[in-house]
Amino acid sequence: MNINASRSTRFKYVSLGIGLVIIASLFYFLHAGKSATDSESDSVKAGPAVVEIVRAAMHSIDTTVTAQGTLTASQGGSARIAPVNPGRLVSVRVREGDTVHAGEVVAVLDSRVPQAQAASAASALKVSQIQAQQASLAAKAAATDHANAVETARLDLETAQTELKKLEAGARPQEIAQSDQSVKQAQATRDRAASEVERVQFLFDKGIDSKRQVEDAKTALLVADSSLATAKAQASLIKEGARPEDLHTAKLRVKAAQAALRQAQQGSLQVQAKLQDTQAAVESIRQKNADLAVAQMNVAYTELRSPISGKVTHRLLNPGDMADTTNPVVEIADTHSLNLVANIPAEDGTAICVGMPARVTAANAPSRTFTGTVVNVGEVDPQSGMLVVRISVPSDGALKVGAFASADIITHTDRAAIVVPKSAVLSRDSHDVLFTVSKDNTAHQVNVKIGAQQGDMIEILSGIRPGDQVISLGQYELTDGAKIRPAKHSADTRQ
């Protein structure tokens, strides 16, 4: 009994639910039909569509290729500063983000060892200079002694040769005549002395002169005889010439003088040796100068200086760290001249040449546009089909290294292009179209060929003429031949 009652209750609830669903469906269809009818009625009552109209105008427009990439330091505009010689850092004077100028010291290494080496090199240079002075003085003294020895030997040789020539030539006629004259004078003196002896002896015999006078006269005769004998002997020697032994001795003296001259001349080898010692000392000075210059440079290298002006992008080491030639202490980039390195499709790259201008925008300065110049167009990567374009972008420091940037590379500028707002062009059935407006406010769909785009403007290559009225807003639901009503604020195209 209870089971039958329960079943009856369930049947009633199910029947009630089905009835409510049927009623709701009928209500929906009736309401939808009424809404459609009301919409059609409102559309008929609305009249012509309100649109904004502009006039196609002639303006300058650029044909561009868009390139996107990353801002990097320009070629030669960055520096990874590492020491020339390894050493321990004493100080790092800059932090990331600091501005530095070319030549500014950014870090300092421990300089005690290089300074000691420089002092040692300076002392070695002084020693070399003193040795060079001593070698120069010794060379000058040797040259002077050599010259004096040669001159003395030459004079001795000339004297010996003169004596030999005199002996070999014998007496001159004048000397022979002079010796004969001496004999005659001695003979005359002897004859007078003999006559005087005879006279004095006669007077002595007469008792007139004294014996002393006789002896003096005899003595004078003996002296006269001796002088006569000497004069005759000298005349004989002069006429006979030099003795063989005297000639032999003179020749030996000449040979000895020649040997002495040769020996003196060979002293030039010692002078040359002294000069070479001097030259070696001079070369030693040059070497020591070079060693000192290297040592002083090593001292200077303990101060790490920035070769460029820019900002510190990375600080990699700190005081107390060991720095070597392979690990930079800081990295610096010139943010006033960056490069945008971008990849573009190869087919777009054919239109790009070095020197073309570009408008650059960066993610870190989105409100600003920078003017750049293409400085390099790379080769096509056969794997990716892309090529790399490098664009130089002067900046006032607003751009950051590593920031994402986009560039519109201007490949061509049309000074008299027909332009309309981009919003005027629609795509229908795979064609670019726009709507022109006739004098009776009728919209006409026109197929057009578009060209370059710049900002919110687009170039129309064919399909309309300058001055044509074009719908720029409100044309999405229009059909060809539809009536329109211009909005009050419609105006001509502006650049």
Name the nearest CA neighbour of 107 among 300, 312, 311, 302: 302
Instruction: Please report the beta strands in 214-364, taking only residues with DSSP state E, as ranges in sequence order.
Output: 303-305, 310-315, 322-323, 330-333, 337-345, 357-362
Q: Is 145 or 208 the better-scoring residue by pLDDT?
A: 145
Above 60 in pLDDT, residue 7? no
Above 50 in pLDDT, residue 495? no
Angle between helix axes 211-240 and 173-205 (nearest 10 degrees) is: 160
- Count Cβ neighbours within 10 Å for each residue of 17-47 and write b for 16 or more, e otherwise: eeeeeeeeeeeeeeeeeeeeeeeeeeeeeee
Whether 426 contacts 433, CB under 8 Å: yes
- Neighbouring C-alpha atoms within 13 Å toward the C-beta of 20: 6
Above 60 in pLDDT, residue 107? yes
Above 70 in pLDDT, residue 12? no
Answer left, alpha or beta for residue 291, where phi above 0 means left and psi between -120 and 50 means alpha. Answer: alpha
- The pLDDT score that the predictor gives to residue 105 is 96
How many helices (H) and strands (E) are present in the chain, helices listed first?
6, 22
d(CA 476, CA 457): 18
d(CA 331, CA 73): 11
Above 50 in pLDDT, residue 132? yes
- The pLDDT score that the predictor gives to residue 15 is 53
> Tokens 């006669």 label which residue?
202
Q: Which residues contact residue 423 at a Cβ distance below 8 angstroms, ignoring those fewer than 6 apart? A: 456, 472, 473
- The pLDDT score that the predictor gives to residue 122 is 96
d(CA 177, CA 127): 74
Q: Is 472 or 247 the better-scoring residue by pLDDT?
A: 472
**Mean pLDDT over residues 185-203, rounded?**
87
DSSP state of 487: -
Name the nearest CA neighbour of 64 among 377, 424, 406: 406
Above 50 in pLDDT, residue 160? yes
- The pLDDT score that the predictor gives to residue 269 is 87
Name the nearest CA neighbour of 165 among 256, 242, 245: 242
- The pLDDT score that the predictor gives to residue 31 is 46
Above 90 in pLDDT, residue 280? yes
d(CA 227, CA 380): 129
Whether 412 contacts 454, CB under 8 Å: no
DSSP state of 392: E
Read off the pLDDT band of 9 (50, 70, 90). Answer: very low
Read off the pLDDT band of 152 (50, 70, 90). Answer: very high
Read off the pLDDT band of 35 (50, 70, 90). Answer: very low
Report residue 133 as tokens: 């002075």
**Mean pLDDT over residues 70-77, rounded?**
89
Give the SS3 label for residue 63: strand
Above 50 in pLDDT, residue 45? no
Encoded amino acid at 266, one letter: Q
Percentage of the chain lying above the pLDDT 70 cut = 87
**Mean pLDDT over residues 24-44, rounded?**
44
- Count Cβ neighbours within 10 Å for each residue of 440-461 and write b for 16 or more, e otherwise: eeebebbebebbbbbeebbbbe
Whether 417 contacts 452, CB under 8 Å: yes
Domains and CATH numbers, the chain: 50-70+334-486 (2.40.30.170), 78-110+303-329 (2.40.50.100)
What would the pLDDT profile of 425-444 be if each residue is shown by its tens digit?
999 989 999 999 999 999 99
**pLDDT averaged over the chain?**
85
What would the pLDDT profile of 167-191 be if each residue is shown by its tens digit?
776 666 777 788 888 888 988 998 8
The distance in angstroms from the start CA to the end CA of the chain is 91
What would the pLDDT profile of 202-243 be if each residue is shown by its tens digit?
888 888 878 888 888 889 889 988 988 898 888 777 766 667
- The pLDDT score that the predictor gives to residue 44 is 41
Q: Is 171 or 341 the better-scoring residue by pLDDT?
A: 341
What would the pLDDT profile of 438-473 be if each residue is shown by its tens digit?
999 999 999 999 998 888 999 999 999 999 999 999
Percentage of the chain lying above the pLDDT 90 cut = 52
